[in-house]
Structure 1
Amino acid sequence: MDERLVNASNALSAVEEYLDILTQKPIEELTATLPPIDKAKVQVGLAYSINALLYVLLKAQGVSSKDIRTTQIKQELDRVKGYIQKIKYSEEMAKGRKARIDAEAAGRFINHALSSDQVYTDAVEARANDEKEAPKAEAAKKESKKQKAVPAKSKPAKRARK
């Protein structure tokens, strides 16, 4: 039993040290330089810590777990756990987004980088023109073959008037 009390006392001392750091300055000042996800982590961590400490205090005072105060604290802890899950989900989604490559953007980037080479640019333009003109040329070729295949009708000779 003595060992458990010593461990509890040490844990409470560590909590006091952390709370002293947090009470020295306003929370806005402490989190001013943090990115939004880290600010959310700090705020959720504080909410969870405060509620957990209140729950421990009530239990140490012998308050029943069926008491309205403890049930409200448990509900609040569950709500904060939900926010913790949302933060974890957001982090996972952010990691997933970073791993994906936008192929169109990569293509534009490469073309732009290579477009400084005039030979490459001219070749790309020539190819694009050939691709645009190829269907038209093919259609014109087919049309001329059709016209050659069909004999032209001769017009009857005009009679001379007397």
Structure 2
Amino acid sequence: MAGQEDLGEAVTTREDFPPGMAPKILSLLKNLKQLEDNLKPLTAKPYHDILSTLSPLEKSKVGIMEVYSINTLYWVLMRISGEDVDTTLKDDYRVEMNRLKEIQSRLSEVERRAGRTRIDRQAAGRFIRQGLGRSARREEEDDDIEEIPNKRKKTYLGTYESEVKEEYPEEYPEEYAEEYSEEPAVESNPRFVESWQ
């Protein structure tokens, strides 16, 4: 920009600037020129065209960069104005910059997570089973087995209800009637009879 170069020459040639101020203003002008050059790709096209070609992660980065640039330029404007900067403005600026740093750290965390490789657990399981020599038929059988419920009731004997087998079926054949009768056969057991005599 010709205006900034003219201003830079005016700063160096004018004698009404304090001697320590001219290098700072020249440095500021160089940095503004560099900022303008860096922002040219974003300002060359309409804003919505640029954002439509970016991924969501890149859009977030552009948004953070914009807010950071605006805040920094505002801070420079406050400092250049020569007025005493109110403490509330300084505090507001610090709060905003800390918020931007937090957002930047979250964004870098998302970017780091996106770069990690993801494991397809089902495919890995199939790969391991095939590597161990498990047959496809056995694999199908395993897939058909229903899962055991996580919570099972414990019976008073310490076994699980699902493991307790019925000792006396409700209906039993006639030939086993004596075996499953409800009355104890005390007289028929000779050992029992001998122990009481």
How far apart are 1:76 and its partner, in Å? 1.9
1:124 is matched with which residue? Answer: 135
CA pair 125-8 structure 1, distance change in 2 beyond 3 A: closer
Instruction: Map 1:1-162 to 2 at 5 A.
Output: 1=20, 2-96=22-116, 98=117, 100-108=118-126, 124-125=135-136, 128=138
Contact 1:64/1:70 (CA < 8 Å) preserved in 2?
Answer: no
How far apart are 1:29 and its partner, in Å? 1.8
How far apart are 1:52 and its partner, in Å? 0.8
Percent identity of paired positions between Structure 1 and Structure 2 = 30
Contact 1:58/1:70 (CA < 8 Å) preserved in 2?
Answer: no
CA distance in 1, matches of 2:112, 2:136: 43
What amino acid does structure 2 have at the position aligned with 1:13?
Answer: K
> Secondary structure in 2 aligned to 1:90?
helix
CA distance in 2, matches of 1:109, 1:63: 71
CA pair 125-53 structure 1, distance change in 2 beyond 3 A: closer
CA pair 79-63 structure 1, distance change in 2 beyond 3 A: farther
Cα RMSD for the two superposed structures: 3.4
1:135 is matched with which residue? Answer: none
Higher helix share: 1
**5+ long unaligned stretches in structure 2:** 1-19, 143-197
Q: Aligned residues, how many?
A: 120
CA pair 30-61 structure 1, distance change in 2 beyond 3 A: same
**5+ long unaligned stretches in structure 1:** 113-119, 133-162
CA distance in 2, matches of 1:125, 1:79: 55
> Secondary structure in 2 aligned to 1:31?
helix
Deviation by residue 1:5-51 (Cα, 9 ceiling, x = unmatched): 33221111112334454344443221111111010000011001111
What amino acid does structure 2 have at the position aligned with 1:33?
Answer: T
Q: Which has the higher contact order (CA 8 A, sep 6+)?
A: 1
What amino acid does structure 2 have at the position aligned with 1:5?
Answer: I
TM-score by length of 2: 0.49
